Amino acid sequence: MSSEYILEVEHLKQYFPVKNGFRTVPLKAVDDISFSIKPGETLGLVGESGCGKTTVGRTLLRLYQPTSGRIVFDGDVLFDSENKIDVKMQPYRKQMQMVFQDPYSSLNPRMTVEDIIGEPLDVHKLYSSKGERHDKIIELMETVGLNAEHATRYAHEFSGGQRQRIGIARALAVDPKFIVCDEPVSALDVSIQAQVVNMFEDLQKQRGLSYLFIAHDLLVVQHISDRIAVMYLGHMMEIAESDELMDNPIHPYTQSLLSAVPIPDPETARKSQRIILEGDVPSPLKMPSGCPFRTRCRYATEQCAREMPPFTDRGNGHMVACWNK
Amino acid sequence: MNENLKKAPFSAQINLSKFNMQDFEKATDEEKRQQEVMGESTTFFKDSMRRLRKNPLAMLSIVILALLLLVIIFAPLVIPYGYADIVKGTANLHPMEYSTSELKQIANGESVFPHLFGTDSLGRDYFIRVVYGARVSLGVGIFASILVLAIGMLYGSISGYLGGKVDLVMMRIVDIIYSLPDMLLIILLAVVLNETLTPLIEGTILAKLGTNMIALFIVFGLLYWVGMARLIRGQILTIKQNEYVLAAQCIGTSTARTIRRHILPNCLSVIIITTALQIPSAIFTESYLSFLGLGVSAPMPSLGSLANDARAGMMTYPERLLFPAFAICLIVLALNLLGDGLRDAFDPKLSK
């Protein structure tokens, strides 16, 4: 079955129970977000630390049990809280994969590269003989630009960039259609970042992959993404085509994020004005009423405190959740 | 070559203008291969063993333990006395002494194996009894530790990995077991099992060890694993936080395989260290119980029961107390030092 979208997410909520003294209160890590990804597309997901980006990625892959909402992958409903659909993920593990943020802790230090990349093959029994397994692993290593001679080495013998390539090879082993990239370059040097980002792009072209690319570096996200989604405190604030969002941000939060991006030209930089946000991000345990951003928003009105603004289309798929803009 | 290239002052760069292109020749394939230097890939385990080999105390302990094992295994094959053989007229000999009848045999040209540690009050060769005692003590120590390891590892890894309510219930059970008095249970079990088990184990190897030993094993199996289970649970809770465990879940790896391939290998060092340190504590417990008369049943000796028997003639025959006591000290000290050495080797951050 195929549909227009490879992944559709509707009203996804992910609450974690947190002990607060004797009471257990829900921590609303992801609160009512909706988005969709077309085949072969990259959706960038940005937002500051702790806003629930990683949780979104992990919930999509069902590493966490979603609280409510609906997830549709490639026409198949994986989770639907209303109709009580909750399918077994095992067959979908072959189609959805993840690249992790920390190249140091995401590889088992007691396993050789061959075993790390070979594990998905073992689990899904994707080979008929030892030789075929080895050949597949070597092919994967060459795909991500690793030296095939290094197959018998351990992860700690590699640099950060090489380790991230091992992680990517592991994700590619099952030949997935969709990969969640959870800040795959933020732990790397700038020069290595470029190499890895370009590799993601090349792989996408070769294999027709779709990405959910999570990052906090706006420039990296702009470079790789077709569309960008902005999150704040578990809520989706704005989604738009990559260039549209960069040139014409509507939500005040997106505007302030973009104004914080360093401009490499001092002349332009002097002329540009930074929008500096006041105050801290509120605790997700004590969410402000209405719009979560209103405590730091300079346009905030009474309406913002009363009601959460609806996520509406402002033309050409540019979706924004704001009363005033 | 560019003639105009100027060499910077104080530069260590070779001035190439002094050479002619013709003087150079291309490197052969063989020479190129020589340049490919690849260090051997070391595993964590190999690296730890290398550190262990550099630790003199640990190496000494290994040598002592190896020698002890050799003696324990081969001495009964060499020495013509059994641990329960009573040689007439040879009671109460000091080390290397011969009885009058044995002296006669020697005078007749027969060869008599010397009593290295003398004999006991019944005329049994004391050396062979100490050897058998060490056999029993070490055997009990090792088997009890393996038992503790097996139960503790299974319980701890399930509790730690599954977490949540399962963990809560399993850990409360551990807390309850932790609060039971172990010595009292051993004594009670020994008494109860003595009546029920004796006819069951008649004629088997277990009968030689006696029901007390079985009680000891049961108590180890019931009570002593809790420490190991807690430790492994704690380890697993930390290792579970690593992203590679999440990555395994993402791949679709089963729980059993994740524990086996990703979690246990990463707490292997702690398991090895604790097991090595568990053996001496089990030996101590066994010796202590045997000393109280709750250990192996006579005539099978254990180091503890030998020390207990020696109390009677302590003033006249002090060596009878010293030999088993020294053997316990040697085994326990060597195992403790080896355990410390293993900890330093596996966890170099902890040492010094």
- Which string of DSSP letters, residue by residue, matches A34-98? EEEE-TT-EEEEE--TTSSHHHHHHHHTTSS--SEEEEEETTEEEEETTTTEE--SGGGGGTEEE
Tell me how many domains chain A contains.
1
Is residue A120 domain-resident? no
Size of interface A-B (CB pairs under 8 A): 69
Q: Which residue stretches of chain B are H helix? A: 29-35, 44-53, 56-78, 100-107, 126-162, 164-178, 182-197, 205-209, 211-219, 225-240, 243-251, 255-258, 268-291, 303-310, 318-346
Q: Does B262 have pLDDT greater than 60?
A: yes
pLDDT tens digits for A216-237? 888 889 999 999 999 999 999 9
The pLDDT value recorded for residue A60 is 92
Total-model pTM: 0.76
Task: Give backbone dihedrals phi and psi of A293, rounded to 5 degrees, phi first.
Answer: -90, -5
Residues 267-286 in B contacting A (C-alpha not used; CB under 8 Å): 268
Cβ atoms of residues A99 and A196 within 8 Å: no
Cβ atoms of residues A243 and A227 within 8 Å: no
The pLDDT value recorded for residue A20 is 77
The pLDDT value recorded for residue B155 is 92
One-letter amino acid at A238 equals E
B257 touches chain A (CB under 8 A): yes
Query: How far, in Å, CA of B228 to CA of B183, rounded?
Result: 19
Interface test with B, best of A54, A119, A157 (most B CBs within 10 A): A119
Nearest Cβ partner for A154 among B41, B261, B262: B41
Residues of A in contact with B262 (CB under 8 A): 108
Q: Which residue has the higher pLDDT, B190 or A267?
A: A267
Residues in contact with A257: Cβ distance below 8 Å, sequence separation at least 6, in sequence order = A46, A218, A230, A249
Task: Give backbone dihedrals phi and psi of A315, rounded to 5 degrees, phi first.
Answer: 105, 135
pLDDT tens digits for A291-314? 888 888 888 888 888 888 888 888
How is domain B44-83+130-346 classified at the CATH fold level? MetI-like fold (1.10.3720)
The pLDDT value recorded for residue A166 is 94
B114 touches chain A (CB under 8 A): no
Is residue A314 domain-resident? yes
Range of the domain at A253: 7-40+47-95+180-186+210-321
As a whole number, mean pLDDT of residues B133-151 equals 88
Q: Which residue has the higher pLDDT, B217 or A320?
A: A320
Nearest Cβ partner for A63 among B38, B41, B246: B246
Query: How far, in Å, CA of B314 to CA of B329, rounded?
Result: 19
Is residue A226 domain-resident? yes
Q: Does A1 have pLDDT greater than 50?
A: no
Q: Is the ipTM of this complex over 0.90?
A: no
pLDDT band, residue A38 (cuts 50/70/90):
very high
As a whole number, mean pLDDT of residues B186-206 equals 74
Task: Give backbone dihedrals phi and psi of A236, rounded to 5 degrees, phi first.
Answer: -85, 125
What residues does CATH 1.10.3720.10 cover in chain B?
44-83+130-346
Is residue A269 domain-resident? yes
Is residue A246 domain-resident? yes
Residues of A in contact with B264 (CB under 8 A): none
The pLDDT value recorded for residue B112 is 76
CA distances from B348 to B43, B49, B68, B335, B340 (A): 15, 12, 29, 19, 11
pLDDT band, residue B96 (cuts 50/70/90):
confident
Question: The domain that contains A86 carries what CATH number?
Answer: 3.40.50.300
pLDDT averaged over chain B?
82
Task: Give backbone dihedrals phi and psi of A14, rounded to 5 degrees, phi first.
Answer: -135, 105
The CA R_g of chain B, rounded to the nearest whole Å, is 31
The pLDDT value recorded for residue A176 is 93
Number of residues in chain B: 352
pLDDT averaged over chain A?
89
Query: How far, in Å, CA of A72 to CA of A12, rounded?
Result: 11
Per mean pLDDT, which range of B95-104, B140-149, B155-164, B254-263 is the poorest?
B95-104
CA distances from A27 to A106, A202, A305, B46 (A): 26, 38, 20, 45
Residues in contact with A209: Cβ distance below 8 Å, sequence separation at least 6, in sequence order = A40, A176, A177, A178, A179, A203
Q: Taking CB atoms and an 8 Å limit, are A106 and B249 in contact across chains?
A: no
As a whole number, mean pLDDT of residues B18-31 equals 79
One-letter amino acid at A168 equals I
Closest-approach residue (CA) in chain A for B44:
A110
Is residue A173 domain-resident? no
Residues of B in contact with A110 (CB under 8 A): 43-44, 265-266, 268
